[in-house]
A and B are shown apart, each in its own frame.
Chain A
Amino acid sequence: MSARNWEVVIGIETHAQLSTQSKIFSGSSTAFGAQPNVQASAVDLALPGVLPVLNRGAVECAIKFGLSIGAEVAAKSVFARKNYFYPDLPKGYQISQFELPVVVGGGVRIQVGQGDKAYEKVVRLTRAHLEEDAGKSLHEDFHGKSGIDLNRAGTPLLEIVTEPDMCSSAEAVAYAKALHALVRWIGICDGNMQEGSFRCDANVSVRRPGEPLGTRREIKNLNSFRFLQQAIDYEIQWQIDTLEDGGKIQQATVLFDPDSGETRVMRTKEDAHDYRYFPDPDLLPLVISREWVERTKATLPELPEAKRQRFMEQLGLSAYDATALTASLEVADYFDAVVTAAGAANAKSAANWVMGELSARLNKEDKDIAASPVSAAQLAGLIARIADNTISNNIAKKVFEALWNGDGASADEVIEKQGLKQITDTGAIEKLVDEVLAANAANVAEYKAGKEKAFNALVGQVMKAAKGKANPQQVNDLLKAKLGG
């Protein structure tokens, strides 16, 4: 049997480190990469007698997130203690939220696949809650002992939990990418996956169509989209194989090993912790007023969904283009800047350039759009010259290349310097056409005998003679007129 007879159910929990200057319950810095334990205060070390004080900035990040996914920002939420012993958990409990989280509900729109198979879907969120990160245990270089670095202890996290709404690794990755773009878009997380700022846990189960949910296994701490996809694919296949071999799935937490491409069990339900959650008596309930929410709303940039709608309704872009151009704030801002300079009438052309030539070039050189050598203003200038027939699309690629390499400050300068201005003088083009027709009698004869291809060859000859600068439409029209006449 094959995977076709199985349904896959995936839910994702994401830990996003919030971009606050200081920790969630202490004044220590959250900067990454400092010497071990230099960013650990008395509170982070859990010295006797210390107390937590909530960082207002972390709450604002949560409010922004709630607003950006259409969720309810809870008027009252409660911090709870999650109790367990681990050396990098200094208090012996993590301050988190349990029964009453700060964000409830909401959803994230995802775009899955490409071309004809592309489809959209909304992944519903269960909740998002604030909590503190643990420190790090270092097991190397300590001669059989472990070292503890508490710099990360107390870094604010937003744990974002979905409903079990995804049914393939492609959907899971699309969700993770959309969420990643969103948290960066609203400026609450730097999204740096190598440094652990954005990490995903995937809950995976399989079932026969129509049957109740299967037993799930949770893959912990996936810190790249590729690992997320590989781990889920492996896990799905493993679960199907196990069940088809007559085995049973045990609820478990597993780790993905990128080297072997396999998942392995970390702990099963039997040795799961009883975290003994209870409300933290050191912290009062978190009360968020309507007014605080409104004030925070005013600081949000235009959200991806609103931008997407605007691109479709005001600029006439397709849903596919609008989604692609709102995949990140940087891309959307760049596109917006091009359209502002080139005019809304050129929006489709701008979209093609940003998603086509520019995106390909950025990918090739592994550059971020914010660091693009061709600025939005330069690209707008280029598009304007296509629109007014100064240059053809083909010549435009040359101009783009020159701008990319810094051979000119603007499209106009490049066109002028390299003499790329399109020939639109009918007399000049007619002269070229006549010369080509005279020199290519064979092609003319073939065309007249009904071979359409011969026409294209003649167009090519004219363009060649014009060094690519003749207006293609005029060339076409003139050739047709002369051959037909």
Chain B
Amino acid sequence: MLNSSLKELAQALAGKKISSVELTQLYLDRINRLNPAINAYVSTQPERSLAQAKAADARLAAGDAGPLTGIPLAQKDIFCAEGWLTTCGSKMLANFVSPYDATVIQKFDAAGAVNLGKTNMDEFAMGSSNETSFFGPVKNPWDQSRVPGGSSGGSAAAVAARLAPAATGTDTGGSIRQPAALCNLTGLKPTYGVVSRWGMIAFASSLDQAGPMARSAEDCGLLLNAMAGFDPKDSTSLERPVEDYTRELNAPAAAKPLAGLKIGLPKEFFGEGCDAAVMAAIQAAIEQYKALGAEMVEVSLPNMKLSVPAYYVIAPAEASSNLSRFDGVRYGYRAPEYDSLDDMYAKSRAQGFGAEVKRRILIGTYVLSHGYYDAYYLQAQRIRRLIAEDFVAAFKQCDVILGPTSPSTAFKLGDKAGDPVQMYLSDIYTIAVNLAGLPGMSLPCGFAEGLPVGLQLIGNYFDEARLLNVAHRYQQVTDWHGRAPAGLE
């Protein structure tokens, strides 16, 4: 049951082989047993989860079930959920119980999914290793001395350790794709604007996008069907016809199902800076894709080298403003002692935020300051446009772009925690996708010294269905994504 796909779970629920209450209990027990070591979840509410499961069972019995009814899911603790602690991995919000639901949470509720709990994450989604969480680091289920990636590290570890069938994540610079790569998951960051940001605590508003983290492309498609859609409460959400993101997956398997597909290989993805073992797995995946009928084309993204510096201007700039609301006045952490208003602000924020968050607030405040705005913020916005134009040009030559997700496999806890720049560079292949607002995904493509390697696929705007199909066809002929870490019983 723990290795079943979402489709198989739905069939088991429909066929009364198991009830949602039993399935939810199975996961809650497992979380009880294994979470203390993995630290994937920061909060659970078994009674609420089981009540949702009971309601789902009633819907199943009444024949009113959809593809996700009764299926337990883990929710990244960045999504506000009414009656749930919503901490964003921060001491600042350690006591914050949300009075309202994020649109994503609302949509899963409406679909009849069960909320298993809130997953650990880098504080305010700022990090690539899940080590900046106020609630402690998450352990990679494949090797508990290693990081699961970040910022959606809790969601990644939960799904990898079979503490949830699937989970939500958010991706501002790689926060779904990089932990998916490091934990052997399939994760999708949709086109900016496809999933509503209402109720998702903002890190960098123009880059943040929620998406699914699961064990297969097919599971991701089912989750995205529930998550996506125009939301009048989010002015940046896009008004588009509803689509079935799994529509291409059910075409009959052919000998060369990807015949005619052009895959672009940006030369900038295949130069220096990537571990040889990772690159070997990527090369093997390219061969596999050729066997599936795809044609490889070399493309170029000349400005990609500027993506990390541009990102570390734009994202902190937005973050410095987004995080101003955490001031100790209305909710969240307030310093116990202070002697003036300014002192209350200073102490509450000094004590409530961790080091990485403070670093980014400082950077952001600096780049927006009078006299520096043009040189940093405006310049970074220009680079952002150039990067988007690079992708537009590349997609004239190919249908999807392929490369590594992360330059290395999971690194040791503490290895990069003291070196922000090394940490930032672990997102070197993912950040440009956010700057351009494109959909991107990561899927398992092998192992290096027992650690998962992730393959990144980048699609054109709104090309999620094709992207999922390109991943699915690979997963039909490989079994990397089906592998589970050992020793978790």
Contact = CB atoms under 8 A, between A and B. Distances in A.
A53 B235 CA distance: 6
Nearest to B197: A51
B102 A87 contact: no
B373 A278 contact: yes
Contact of B235 (A54, A83, A87, A91): A54
A274 B370 contact: yes
B235 A274 contact: no
Given A85-B324, A276-B369, A278-B377, A45 B235 contact: no
Contact of A281 (B200, B206, B329): B206
B78 to A, nearest CB: 8
A49 B331 contact: no
Interface in A261-282: 274, 276-278, 281-282
A283 B99 contact: no
A148 B204 CA distance: 28
Contact residues on A (Cβ < 8 Å of other chain), bracket: 20 to 34
Contact residues of B: prevailing secondary structure: loop
B327 A49 contact: no
A412 B66 CA distance: 80
A282 B205 contact: yes
B102 to A, nearest CB: 6
Interface residues of B, number: 44
A46 interface: yes
B62 interface: no
Contacts of B331: 47
Interface centre among B98, B204, B205, B327 (most CB of A within 10 A): B327
Interface centre among A49, A50, A52, A281, by most chain B C-beta atoms within 10 angstroms, is A49
Contacts of B204: 281
Interface in B226-247: 232-236
A227 interface: no
Interface string B346-365: 00000000000000000001
Nearest to B332: A48
A148 B198 contact: no
A83 B370 contact: no
A52 B323 CA distance: 16
A83 B325 contact: no
A284 interface: yes
A284 B236 contact: yes
A406 interface: no
B156 interface: no
A49 B200 contact: yes
A216 interface: no
A284 B199 contact: no
Contact of A92 (B79, B99, B235, B321): B321
B441 interface: no
A85 B327 contact: yes
Given A83-B321, A274-B370, A51 B327 contact: no
Nearest to B100: A42
Interface in A147-187: 148
Contacts of A274: 369-370
B416 to A, nearest CB: 28
Nearest to B324: A92
A281 B345 CA distance: 25
B63 to A, nearest CB: 35
Contacts of B17: none
A284 B199 CA distance: 18
Nearest to B342: A85
Contact of B86 (A48, A81, A85, A93): A48
A49 B202 contact: yes
A49 B331 CA distance: 13
A278 B317 contact: yes
Interface in B64-122: 79-80, 86, 88, 93, 96, 98-100, 102
Nearest to B208: A281
Interface string A86-109: 010011110000000000000000
Interface of B: 79-80, 86, 88, 93, 96, 98-100, 102, 197-202, 204-206, 232-236, 317-318, 320-321, 323-327, 329-331, 341, 345, 365, 368-370, 373, 377
Given A49-B86, A87-B341, 4 more contacts: A51-B235, A53-B233, A93-B324, A274-B369
5 contacts: A46-B330, A51-B233, A83-B324, A276-B320, A278-B321
